[in-house]
Chains A and B, each alone.
Chain A
Amino acid sequence: MTSGFGRPRTTPHQREEVERLFGELGSHPEELVFSEPWEVRAFALAVAGHTSGQYPWKDFQQALVSSIKTWENSVEDLAHPAWSYFEHWVSALQEVLEHGGFVDARAVQARTEGVLSTPANRNHHEPHYDPVAIDPAVTHRTGATS
């Protein structure tokens, strides 16, 4: 064991870097608000793909803009409840990956269906009604009632 589990491994500098990239999309860092775990994952994937050198950020930005445009043209009311900013991140990420020849749409679709047909934790379905471990008190409480 080398390091504590609970200690942060990221630095303020990394956060600044991410917010700078986000800002380049024409958004304010304050708009970087997530409401579902997959949104953070999609966000991190797109940033990680770029920082590992797979595509220029500009390409991602263009794909994002175009996905949002397509959506806007497909709904009558821009306040349509199906709006999800990070869904466009997912579409844009897939687009740049397809464009770069890394994945093709059919492979992504097949993999997605595979994920959907696999229960989230297929090996861990039994409920556990009792503690899995008890670390008893080391000393007795002074002045306790029992």
Chain B
Amino acid sequence: MSNVDRTQEEVAARVKALESLMIEKGLLTTEMVDRFVEIYENEVGPQLGAKVVARAWTDPDFKARLLEDATAACRELEIGGMQGEDMVVLEVTDEVHHAVVCTLCSCYPWPVLGTPPNWYKEPQYRSRMVREPRKVLAEEFSFPIPDETEIRVWDSSSEIRYWVLPQRPRGTEDWTEEQLTELVTRDSMIGVGPTKAAS
């Protein structure tokens, strides 16, 4: 079997095929696979999103372009891919916080954020985040949003994939773009967690 010139899409499909066959044959369960994926899920991809966020924090023109057309702005940094075709970036302010969910499945802007974390695909997150976001963020993610801030929850679909531009952490005025990248977390770009604090 030659695997030269196989496209990424074909390989990805083969991996899915093998997984579904292995599960059908009772060789393993999705949970068993997820356990190993979880070890690494935070290491694929979100650093690309972090780069974009840090650029937006340091370059107001880029930020304007990012909020106008995230897909095009990401392409400027050579970031893009299969599921990133129509991305919309939502800016967090003191007045409005944003969080992302996929109510039906697990649509996710993986070119910038990597693989979706396991909980993102869970029915509890998908339904509760829509019903009671303030409570879910405070109780499940230990990420309370100030009472005076409105929370908007956005439904990602395969047509539009949302992600979040968090606020630049305080005390980072003289930080370089590279240093800032370190402060951006995956969860802050889904809207369910803070950025790291400047130390």
B-side contacts of A33, CB under 8 Å: 43
Cβ proximity bits B129-158 to A, threshold 8 Å, 1 near / 0 not: 111111010011111000111111111111
Closest chain-A Cβ to B144's Cβ sits at a distance in Å of 11
Closest chain-A Cβ to B120's Cβ sits at a distance in Å of 8
Q: Is the CB of B148 within 8 A of A138?
A: yes
Residue B13 is within 8 A (CB to CB) of chain A in the complex: yes
From A41, A102, A134, A141, contact of B27 by CB (8 A):
A102
B-side contacts of A9, CB under 8 Å: 35, 38, 118
Residue A78 is within 8 A (CB to CB) of chain B in the complex: no
Most interface-central of B114, B131, B143, B192 (chain A CB within 10 A): B114
**Which range contains the number of B residues in contact with the other chain?**
35 or more
Q: Is the CB of A121 within 8 A of B104?
A: yes
B-side contacts of A112, CB under 8 Å: 10, 13-14, 16-17
Q: Is the CB of B157 within 8 A of A41?
A: no
Q: Is the CB of A141 within 8 A of B39?
A: no
Bound state CA distance, A41 and B157, in angstroms?
Answer: 22
Bound state CA distance, A43 and B35, in angstroms?
Answer: 12
Interface positions, chain B 1-45, Cβ under 8 Å from A, are 1-6, 8-22, 25, 27-28, 32-41, 43-45
Q: Is the CB of B14 within 8 A of A127?
A: no
Interface positions, chain B 166-199, Cβ under 8 Å from A, are 187, 192-193
Bound state CA distance, A96 and B135, in angstroms?
Answer: 47
Residue A25 is within 8 A (CB to CB) of chain B in the complex: no
A-side contacts of B2, CB under 8 Å: 70, 74
Residue of A nearest to B86 (CB): A127
B-side contacts of A79, CB under 8 Å: none
From A5, A74, A115, A141, contact of B95 by CB (8 A):
A141
Q: Is the CB of A5 within 8 A of B141?
A: yes
Given contacts A40-B41, A116-B9, contact A141 B148 (CB under 8 A): yes
Bound state CA distance, A112 and B136, in angstroms?
Answer: 37
**Which range contains the number of A residues in contact with the other chain?**
35 or more
Bound state CA distance, A105 and B14, in angstroms?
Answer: 11
Cβ proximity bits A16-51 to B, threshold 8 Å, 1 near / 0 not: 001000000000000011111111111111011101
Residue B53 is within 8 A (CB to CB) of chain A in the complex: no
From A74, A84, A133, contact of B131 by CB (8 A):
A133
A-side contacts of B86, CB under 8 Å: 127
Q: Is the CB of A40 within 8 A of B40?
A: yes
Q: Is the CB of B22 within 8 A of A128?
A: no
Cβ proximity bits B82-106 to A, threshold 8 Å, 1 near / 0 not: 1100100000001100000111110
Given contacts A40-B40, A125-B158, A132-B103, contact A107 B12 (CB under 8 A): no
Q: Is the CB of A6 within 8 A of B4?
A: no
Residue of A nearest to B108 (CB): A37
Bound state CA distance, A140 and B187, in angstroms?
Answer: 27
17 new A-B contacts, CB < 8 A, other than A52-B27, A52-B28, A135-B153, are: A10-B39, A35-B44, A36-B44, A37-B114, A41-B33, A45-B15, A47-B36, A84-B3, A87-B11, A103-B25, A111-B17, A131-B152, A131-B154, A132-B153, A133-B130, A134-B151, A134-B152
The 7 closest A-B pairs by CB, nearest first: A5-B119, A111-B17, A44-B36, A127-B159, A138-B147, A38-B12, A132-B155
